[in-house]
Amino acid sequence: MIVCAQAGNVNTGAFDPLEAIADACERRGAWLHVDGAFGLWALASPSRAHLARGIQRADSIATDAHKWLNVPYDCGITMTRHRTSHRAAMTLAAAYIETTDAERDPHDYVPEESRRGRAVTVYAALASFGRQGLRELVDRCCGHAQRMAALVSAHPHVRVLNDVVLNQALIRIEPPGRDADAATRAVIDAVQQVGECWLSGTTWHGMAAIRVSVSNWSTTDTDIERSAAAILRAIESVTAS
């Protein structure tokens, strides 16, 4: 049995109760996998590390370096405490593939045979940020998401659908007497057409929503204020038509 838990939902940033899930998995002998694409990095922040409490008990964890570490796409990372299972799942044998007698052959642990040196950019980013820099990046991006939610939620036609606990804000436009899904999608289109910032759309519990995800090291308070202003102008334009 494999149980998949979330650390930082891609839409809301929410975390599953990892400690409780890990307890249940241990009782039943289940493999616990945690998707920590965003949420693993919460561990870098003393004020947010509690969100990922229990993640260290997982059998395997996946995360992305091309999100918060800002390295080139694609750069995913998987960790597991079960080396034998990891190798068995990835090893590919063929007559033309050269092997070595080394204790660890890298191609036994990844899905590709040919790939770029992704580890170089990850190492460079971690060395550049350092522990303090990574903590500041996580805290700054989470603060930006909270600020964005606060600015746009001042509009009477805006509903923020999530508790902004990480770097995601989920926003829905709900003008009275109008189709909220259509209005939300129209606001996304309007903002993208202007080009002040870029927003993506998503569907959350069957509802169209604007997904704001802040993870770039260069984003500033001014960027958030300009982006929020662009969203508010788009709301006025869409709801006035």
Residue 93 belongs to domain with CATH number = 3.40.640.10
Q: Look up residue 96 and give its two tokens.
A: 């033309």
Same domain, 197 and 93: no
Q: 144: domain CATH number? A: 3.90.1150.10
The Cβ-side half-sphere exposure at 21, using a 13 Å CA radius, reads 22
Same domain, 235 and 135: yes
Give the pLDDT of residue 188: 98
Residue 116 predicted with pLDDT over 90: no
Q: What is the pLDDT at residue 28?
A: 97
101 and 196 inside one domain: no
Q: Per residue in 214-240, pLDDT tens?
A: 999 999 999 999 999 999 999 999 998
**223 and 167 within one domain:** yes
Number of domains in the chain: 2
The fraction of the chain above a pLDDT of 70, given in percent, is 99
- Tell me the whole-structure pTM to 2 decimals: 0.90
The torsion angle over the Cα atoms of residues 38, 41, 42 and 45, rounded to 10 degrees, is: -150
pLDDT over 80 at 97, yes or no: no
Reduced to 3 states (helix: H, G, I; strand: E, B; else coil), residue 7 is: strand
DSSP state of 14: -
Is the pLDDT at 95 greater than 90? The verdict is no
Render pLDDT for 74-90 as a digit per residue (tens, 0 to 9). Answer: 899 999 999 888 888 88
For residues 10 and 84, what is the distance between their CA atoms, to the nearest angstrom?
A: 30
Q: Give pLDDT, residue 128.
A: 96
The DSSP H or E segment spanning 76 is strand 76-80
Across the range 104-109, mean pLDDT stands at 79
Examine the domain organization and report whether 90 and 135 are in the same domain: no
Q: Which domain holds residue 113?
A: 2-122
pLDDT, tens digit, 9 for 90 and up, residues 22-65: 999 999 999 999 999 999 999 999 999 999 999 999 999 999 99
**Could you tell me what percent of the chain has a pLDDT over 90?**
81
Mean pLDDT score, 172-189: 97
Q: Which of 91, 122, 153 is the last residue of a domain?
A: 122
Q: For residues 193 and 98, give the distance between their C-alpha atoms in angstroms, rounded to a whole number.
A: 51
What pLDDT does residue 23 have? 98
